[in-house]
Chains A and B, each alone.
Chain A
Amino acid sequence: MEQYRSGIIFGFIFVYMLICIAVGLWAMRRTRSTKDFFMAGRHLGMMVTSVAVFSSTMSGFGFVGGPGLVYLAGTSSFWMVINMSIGMCVMFFLLGKRLRLFAELREPVSLPDAVAARYNSRFTGGLTAVAILLGVVTYLGVQIKAMSVVLFQILQDIPWASTPLEWCYVISCTVLVFYCVTGGIIASVYTDLIQGVIMVVAAVLVLFTAVATVDGGLQGMAEVITRDDPEAMQPWGTFGMISCLSFYFIMALGVCGQPHVITKLMMTKNISDTRHMLPMSVAGYGLAALLWISIGLCMRAVVLNATHGTPLLNADQAASEFLTYYAHPVLAGVVFAGLFAAIMSTADSFLNIGSAAIVHDLPQAFGMRPLKYELRWARIATVVIAVGAGLLAYYAGEMVAMLGVMGWSIFAIAIVPIVAIGFNWKRANRIAVNTAVISGLVCYAGLYLTDIRLPYNFHQGAFSMLITLTIFFMVALVTPANRLDKDIDAVMDL
């Protein structure tokens, strides 16, 4: 079977992509209006939405970058995973009910739409749309690039299927665009469901494989790593306490600022569905994260005890080396399909919120009338964003990867005060959110682009987030609250 490894992996990915296309065609029949395209007509079931929430949260970074970080720095990167229990709690407690109530009251077709209604301000809605678009193009570029590079590497090993990298970009973008254009958010969430299931199955199987790879299982790995460097296996890893705590802060609080995740909270059929979505999303993410932890620890242990042939040239090779040398070809196929699932489930959500920003939110922010054929334009915008992000990823190279890393923090800085706090606090006003968000984004861009290192490697995004929250809170307290529309005012009391 070993000789057919590449073929089996390719087969799994091919079948997976066919399923995505089939879902797109099926969803096309259910997409008749802009509301269907962007909000799934607000008739999604609890299970589908829960899986979509966790699978959009876990991007390709979790499947490739995560194990690599454990290989590089030991337990430090665990802090990027374990934050999700409190992070999801903050998200659901603050937004689960609130966003869904707003969705029913004002029937927004996007998050900036809801923001504009809450603050009675086109500018604040527009600012949210700009922040979303900024994050979407860079983040999406990284996802497309990751997908193309992985596909390229897999096809390289199959003599009859070897394809240039450029064609891998085209194939990746085409599949992604096809199901997003045809089925909009409906296709996106139903593929998320399939993708989420694949991610969980892949992660659980990988855990068992990793445990069987090293003598003594998880404790065996811990002992090997501790013998080499005790700090790498202690809770702060090699990065140290402050660095880990700053990851914890930006990741836990930042999850309720991820527009591609929280938009899904507006799409459920019943308002009280959030009750069961929280435990399901936390459980799903927890299981998918097993892959991150187990591959990273296993690879660090096998390299240190010299079971693995040669040390890795690059920490990001941890996942691919593990799958090549230690996983059964079928498992490798499932995990690679899981990797594509993780990338695509995040990318499709970005395409959807990005096209909403272009055809709906920005025209509204500039006081333009709604477009006549909004659904058609939304489909065109989806293609334009995907092609634009693909070209940016291809031509801008490393710069895109650098900007893509900023994505999570950009979203967190911009959206946590505006939405997570502002939708629960009547005192939050336009001046406070606009000042805080602009200051936070400027601070973060300044720190990140000039590569200023904060003491003890305190995360730049976490520091900027703290500045944003402080400015937001202080300005809101010293400036008068805005007059709210009667219905919004009443709903915020509930």
Chain B
Amino acid sequence: MKYLPAIIVLTLVWVAVLWVFFSVEPHEATGRPHSEVTFATPQDSTGVAMMQGGDGILRHEHIVVPGLLLGCSMIAMFCMMLFWVCRTKHADPDSGGYFWNLMVMVVLVYVGAFILLCTTYQMSWLEPTEPDYLGPFPIATSLMFLGIYGVPLGFVMLYVLFFEDRILPQAALDEFYEIVQNAKSNAAAEQEAS
């Protein structure tokens, strides 16, 4: 039972990966050389210098759901690891509820941002050459920066703010120094005996 969340998350990642592997892969699903030869392979070039994506619908239509599942399950895996190591022995019980609520909120926003990124990207298929902008980039790309890069900064903040309550409480540090002291005196005693 203790390992059930890890087993579920790992299974979900595998389901998503295998789903992708057994989906139809359209021609040029991972890009093609630029249609202008002068950009793609200028004279004297040794390989493709510039690529194009082509039609977003054609190359993504078979992997919309497995792709979404893959992204969400990966995020779940990363977040699960963070949750796992925050269950420390001497953690302050008073701040526990507050801390876990904030952690869950960051996870929800993180997953939400990823889902929003995927849906706004799919909406851009309607008018691909005239996307709506959020800041300097198309909305989905801005969400990539704000959501996928930006939201985990919430974990950074929680790490700093709750360091003494959850990550390394003073009681844990005191116990650690005691362990070190005991280990050193045991080693010295062993050396003397030998």
Contact = CB atoms under 8 A, between A and B. Distances in A.
Interface of A: 71-76, 78, 81-82, 84-86, 88-90, 92-94, 96-98, 101, 104-105, 217-219, 222, 226-243, 245, 248-249, 252-253, 271-272, 275-276, 278-279, 282, 286, 300, 303-304, 310-315, 424, 454-458, 463, 466, 469-470, 473, 477, 487, 490-491, 493-494
A33 B56 CA distance: 59
B42 interface: yes
B100 to A, nearest CB: 14
Contacts of A286: 149
B95 interface: no
Given A104-B176, A455-B25, 10 more contacts: A71-B49, A74-B51, A93-B159, A226-B138, A230-B56, A236-B53, A238-B53, A249-B74, A278-B159, A466-B14
A101 B179 CA distance: 11
B49 A313 contact: yes
B52 A231 contact: yes
B53 A89 contact: no
Contacts of B25: 455-456
Nearest to A454: B21
The B interface, classified by DSSP as helix, strand, loop or mixed, is helix
A36 B61 CA distance: 57
Given A86-B152, A105-B180, A222-B136, A234 B14 contact: no
The A interface, classified by DSSP as helix, strand, loop or mixed, is helix
Contact of B50 (A241, A300, A466): A300
Contact of A303 (B30, B39, B90, B155): B39
B70 A234 contact: no
A94 B50 contact: no
B167 interface: yes
Contacts of B45: 313-314
Given A71-B49, A234-B121, A303-B50, A105 B179 contact: yes
5 contacts: A73-B51, A85-B153, A253-B78, A275-B163, A278-B160
B93 to A, nearest CB: 16
A311 B56 contact: no
B150 A494 contact: no
B190 to A, nearest CB: 12
B29, B42, B55, B152: most-surrounded residue (chain A CB, <10 A): B152
Given A219-B136, A491-B179, A93 B81 contact: yes
B71 to A, nearest CB: 5
Contacts of B115: none
A474 to B, nearest CB: 9
Interface in B53-71: 53-56, 59-60, 63, 67, 70-71
A248 to B, nearest CB: 7
B173 to A, nearest CB: 7
Contact of A89 (B50, B82, B180): B82
A313 B42 contact: yes
Contacts of A272: 163-164, 168, 173
A271 B42 contact: no
Contacts of A271: 168, 173, 176
B144 interface: yes
A311, A313, A457, A463: most-surrounded residue (chain B CB, <10 A): A311
A294 to B, nearest CB: 11
Contacts of B180: 104-105, 487
B109 interface: no
A71 B47 CA distance: 14
Contacts of A313: 42, 44-46, 49
A456 B53 contact: no
A84 B149 CA distance: 8
B152 A105 contact: no
Interface string B144-166: 11001110110111011001100
B163 A235 contact: no
A301 to B, nearest CB: 12
A490 B172 CA distance: 11
Contacts of B140: 234-235
A242 B63 contact: yes
